[in-house]
């Protein structure tokens, strides 16, 4: 099989064809995939049938993996896998039920945020006509940055913002789930951190807007009302349709994304008995530059 890359008709994303991830990927094919990942930010591999071991092994080709702080949702045998699911067992969620309900990048609340994530679809909810539910939208915060006015670029260039996972939980509690909880030990592991509002990709050298709706709660040195208004302008800008790719899931999709230049949101338009069950690995990253 020859590996080929097919760009989406969108600001970001491409499908990789000719790869069976249940088998070892040659160094030549891997190099092609890695180049495509840096270029397109989101890569889709359709019709995969992989075990947790194979998922972890392919993810490791890109670097070390995170063990997610929400340890109650880790795969029981493979701690590198975070279960993302609305499925319950004896009234308890077996996975993160609301992994991405606000635009965010994974682990941007950490001092060394994740480089990327690989999400594998095992069960997908559907409506009564058979159309998939629970889509995931991706926005290129790099293309969005390029489209800012020079005045706005100059205004945000040297600003820094604060990010926190506890902040996201507070929003979830207020907006839709009063019971979602970050326990004390978990909260201590991820104290709030400061990152630049504009981040530069260490490989491509491209700049992108890094503040996100899910984890950013303050801009340092700005009065609260001014910070809120600036963040709200940037977030409305990032999610403009021309910067967004919407992924409609099929069972067997493995989707990977770059957590530096793209933000994502998961749409919660389904509920039990419609089941959504996915495995996510998360690549470690470096402190932003
Ligand atoms: C995530 O934010 O990592 C999960 C996205 C999804 O559930 O579609």
Q: Is residue 22 part of a domain?
A: yes
Determine, yes or no, domain membership for 288.
no
| pLDDT tens track for 128-142 | 999 999 999 999 999
Residue 186: predicted pLDDT: 87
Q: What pLDDT digit, counting tens, does each position of 48-75 carry? A: 999 999 999 999 999 999 999 999 999 9
Q: How confident is the model at residue 179 (pLDDT cuts 50, 70, 90)?
A: confident
Q: Is the peptide bond before 273 cis (omega within 30 degrees of 0)?
A: yes
Substitution site in 116, 278, 279, 282 for ligand 1 pocket (most atoms within 8 Å of beta carbon):
278
Q: Which residues pair with 269 in a beta bridge?
A: none
Q: Is 141 inside any structural domain?
A: yes
Catalytic residues: 104, 106, 264, 280
- Whether residue 23 lies inside any domain: the answer is yes
Q: Does the beta carbon of 10 sit less than 6 angstroms from any atom of ligand 1?
A: no
Which pLDDT score is estimated for 120?
A: 98
Residue 99 has pLDDT above 80, yes or no: no
The CATH number covering residue 245 comes to 3.60.130.10
Question: Is the pLDDT higher at 269 or at 101?
Answer: 269
Distance from Cα 281 to the centre of ligand 1, integer Å? 11
Into how many domains does the chain fold?
1
Q: What is the pLDDT of residue 134?
A: 96
288 C-beta closer than 6 A to ligand 1: no
Q: Is the dihedral of CA 184, 179, 219, 143 positive or negative?
A: positive
Question: Would you say residue 91 lies in a domain?
Answer: yes
> What's the pLDDT score for residue 176?
79
Going from the Cα of 154 to the center of ligand 1, the distance in angstroms, rounded, reads 32
Confidence tier at 241 by pLDDT (50, 70, 90): very high
Strand-pair category, 14-17 with 42-45? parallel
pLDDT exceeds 80 at position 285: yes
Residue 263 near residue 113 (C-beta atoms within 8 A): no
For residue 209, the model assigns a pLDDT of 98
Q: Is the CB of 84 under 6 A from ligand 1?
A: yes
For residue 266 and ligand 1, the question of a CB distance below 6 A is answered with yes
Please state, in angstroms and rounded to a whole number, the distance separating the CA atoms of residues 264 and 258.
10
Q: Is the distance from CB of 121 to CB of 251 less than 8 angstroms?
A: yes
Query: Which residue from 84, 172, 257, 267 has its CB within 8 A of the most atoms of ligand 1, so it is best to mutate?
Result: 84
Ligand 1 site, residue 75, Cβ cutoff 6 A: no
Average pLDDT, the chain: 95
Tokens of 85: 């699911």
| Contact indicator for 136, 187 with CB cutoff of 8 Å | no
Query: Is residue 109's pLDDT more than 90?
Result: yes
Q: Domain containing 8: what range?
A: 4-283
Residue 215 belongs to some domain of the structure: yes
**Residues found in the chain:** 289
pLDDT category at 47 given cuts 50, 70, 90 is very high
Atom of ligand 1 nearest to the CA of 134: 8
Query: What is the mean pLDDT of the segment spanning 1-30?
Result: 96
Would you place residue 185 in the very low, low, confident or very high pLDDT band (cuts 50, 70, 90)? confident
248 is a domain residue: yes
83: Cβ below 6 Å to ligand 1?
no
Query: Among the atoms of ligand 1, which is closest to the Cα of residue 100?
Result: 2
Task: Kindly state whether residue 289 falls inside one of the protein's structural domains.
Answer: no
* Percent residues over pLDDT 90 in the chain: 87
Residue 98 pLDDT grade (very low, low, confident, very high; cuts 50, 70, 90): confident
Task: Provide φ and ψ at 113, rounded to 5°.
Answer: -65, 160
Mutate which of 100, 117, 263 for ligand 1? The one with the most ligand atoms within 8 Å of its CB, which is: 100
Q: Verify whether ligand 1 is closer than 6 Å to residue 99 (CB atom).
A: yes
């Amino acid at each position: 099989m020859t590996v080929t890359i097919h760009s989406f008709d969108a600001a970001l994303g491409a499908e990789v064809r000719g790869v069976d991830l249940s088998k070892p990927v040659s160094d030549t094919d891997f190099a092609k995939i890695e180049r495509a990942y840096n270029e397109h930010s989101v890569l889709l591999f359709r019709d995969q049938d992989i075990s947790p071991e194979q998922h972890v092994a392919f993810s490791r080709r890109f670097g070390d993996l995170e063990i997610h702080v929400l340890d109650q949702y880790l795969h029981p045998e493979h701690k590198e896998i975070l279960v993302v699911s609305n499925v319950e067992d004896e009234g308890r969620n077996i996975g993160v039920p609301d992994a991405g309900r606000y635009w965010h990048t994974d682990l941007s609340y950490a001092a060394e945020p994740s480089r990327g994530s690989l999400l594998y679809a095992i069960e997908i909810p559907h409506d009564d006509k058979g159309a998939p539910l629970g889509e995931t939208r991706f926005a290129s915060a790099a293309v969005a940055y390029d489209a800012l006015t020079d005045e706005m670029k100059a205004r945000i260039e040297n600003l820094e913002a604060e990010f926190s996972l506890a902040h996201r939980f507070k929003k979830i509690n207020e907006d839709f789930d009063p019971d979602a909880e970050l326990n004390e030990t978990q909260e201590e592991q991820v104290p709030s951190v400061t990152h630049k509002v504009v981040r530069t990709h260490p490989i491509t050298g491209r700049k992108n807007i890094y503040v996100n709706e899910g984890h950013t709660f303050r801009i340092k040195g700005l009065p609260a009302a001014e910070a809120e208004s600036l963040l709200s302008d940037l977030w409305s800008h990032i999610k403009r349709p021309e910067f967004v790719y919407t992924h409609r899931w099929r069972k067997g999709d493995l989707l990977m994304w770059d957590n530096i230049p793209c933000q994502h949101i998961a749409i919660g338009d389904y509920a039990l008995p419609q089941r959504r069950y996915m495995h996510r690995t998360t690549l470690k990253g470096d402190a932003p530059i």
